């Protein structure tokens, strides 16, 4: 029973063409995250939400935006993807009781 669902699993986009990655959760968790993970590297936090309270990491490029219209859904928008944005994008939720629940990730390829 997938509880944090990311769509699509694989996404190919053209250089400079806006792309949106989506994440949904059935857990009703308040805290949600977007991480970027490049090959053989640790995940890098892009954004996190506590409810609708949005927190942008200082080194997250302006090219990356996020929306959370409700508790269940969270979106990552990349306005003008570059080759360097090719990565695995991970969505996660958190509660103090359950800890982290990660989605399966979306692997983004930029061509």
Partner 1 sequence: KNEVEQSPQNLTAQEGEFITINCSYSVGISALHWLQQHPGGGIVSLFMLSSGKKKHGRLIATINIQEKHSSLHITASHPRDSAVYICAVPPRGGTSYGKLTFGQGTILTVHP
Which of 45, 60, 75, 79 lies at the binding interface for partner 1 (CB under 8 A)? 45
Q: How far apart are CA 54 and CA 38, in angstroms?
A: 24
DSSP 62: T
Judged by CB under 8 A, the residue of 48, 74, 85, 108 near partner 1 is 48
Does the footprint of partner 1 cover residue 103 (CB under 8 A)? yes
Q: What SS3 state is found at 3?
A: coil
Q: Does 92 bind partner 1 (CB under 8 A)?
A: yes
Binder to partner 1 among 3, 27, 31, 86 (CB under 8 A)? Answer: 31
Name the nearest CA neighbour of 31 among 108, 105, 97.
97
């Amino acid at each position: 029973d997938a509880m944090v669902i990311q769509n699509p699993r694989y996404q190919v986009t053209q250089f400079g063409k806006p792309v949106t990655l989506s994440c949904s959760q059935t857990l009703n968790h308040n805290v949600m995250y977007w991480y970027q993970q490049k090959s053989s590297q640790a995940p890098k936090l892009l954004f996190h939400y506590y409810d609708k309270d949005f927190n942008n990491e200082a080194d997250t490029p302006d090219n990356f935006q996020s929306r959370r219209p409700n508790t269940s859904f969270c979106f990552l928008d990349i306005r003008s993807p570059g080759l360097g944005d090719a990565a695995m994008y991970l969505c996660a939720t958190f509660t103090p009781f359950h800890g982290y629940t990660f989605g399966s990730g979306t692997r983004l390829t930029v061509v």
